[in-house]
Amino acid sequence: MNHSDKQKPIGVFDSGIGGLTVVKRLASTLPNESIIYFGDTARVPYGSKSNSTVIEYSIQNTKFLLQKNIKALVVACNTASSIAIPDLKKMFDIPIIGMIEPGAKMALKKSRSNKIGVIGTRATVGNLAYSKEIKKMNSSAYVYEKPCPLFVPLAEEGWIKHQATYEIAEEYLKELREYGIDTLVLGCTHYPILSEVIQEVIGNKITLIDSGVASSEVIKLELEKLSLLSDENKTGVQEYYVSDIPAKFKEVAELFLGRVIDHVHKVDLEVLISEH
Ligand code: DGL
């Protein structure tokens, strides 16, 4: 990597809007970094797809972002992080950072009882991504995982504090309350969009772990270690690409980020698939 590599943007992808929870934290931890975001809104959700499909989509998304000349890749999707990272690392020679390890580490740091709950997509929970990672770090920890697939469309829809969101959260989270957990990992990047409802329903005594918060420090350290941190002294720019309905993405993104986004570009899915 040479000096100009530092000025290149960081590529971030998710199946949809969820990765913005990572972008939001990343932009405040590393304000001088530019970010190119890709949300695969045509193919969301990833959490109910097979491992091979998630790998295939992740490779296509990475190739798309590499064409934008990125210096590092953040897989801002727990599902893709838990399934596709080994393949991505084998195929692409850039730093690749996922969500699972930082989230697991932060959960163990915050928990006093070492009884940790994890909510995520069916794929992330089915692959026991967090259980494996947490137990690798501390074999005496207890981990209770629960899939909450309906949280993804609720977040995509922007139903941040809707009555339906409360009812679904109540249904999903009631069994986790019985386990006496003190920490709950939001093991899907869509879930922090609904964190107010999740916190209210699970109760204030339980600490929520947000992948965005957990990963942004790791991303900073990784870029620092590789001498890839931007040395610009102006605020970085953010560019957004989606594979379907940019207007809906823009609306929910602005609601969540609390600011106006200039433009959301549409990437033709046919092109994404055929060219990559
Ligand atoms: N936001 C993603 C995750 O962190 C994917 C959700 C989905 O597409 O099912 O798992």
Please work out whether the CB of residue 187 comes within 6 Å of at least one atom of ligand 1. Answer: no
pLDDT of residue 211: 84
pLDDT of residue 233: 87
Q: Which sequence positions are flagged as catalytic?
A: 77, 188
Question: Which whole number is the average pLDDT over 147-175?
Answer: 95
Q: How far apart are CA 232 and CA 174, in angstroms?
A: 48
Same domain, 128 and 162: yes
Which of helix, strand or coil describes residue 276? coil
pTM value? 0.95
Atom of ligand 1 nearest to the CA of 149: 9
Instruction: Look at 251 and 1; give whichever has higher pLDDT.
Output: 251
Same domain, 84 and 219: yes
Interval 91-124: pLDDT, tens? 999 999 999 999 999 999 999 999 999 999 999 9
What does the H/E/C string look like for 134-167? HHHHCCCCEEEEEECCCHHHHHHHCCCCCHHHHH
| Residue that has been written with the tokens 């009884």 in this structure | 115
CB atoms within 10 A of CB 161: 10
Q: Looking at the 3D structure of the chain, how many domains does it have?
A: 2
What tokens were used for 258?
Answer: 């609390």
Domain limits for position 149: 100-211
Choosing from 50, 77, 146 the residue with most ligand 1 atoms within 8 A of its CB, the one to mutate for a pocket test is 77
238: domain CATH number is: 3.40.50.1860
Residue 245 in this model has a pLDDT that exceeds 60: yes
Asked whether 75 and 81 are in contact (CB, 8 A), the reply is yes
Amino acid at 20: L
Please work out whether the CB of residue 61 comes within 6 Å of at least one atom of ligand 1. Answer: no
Same domain, 31 and 59: yes
Same domain, 169 and 251: no
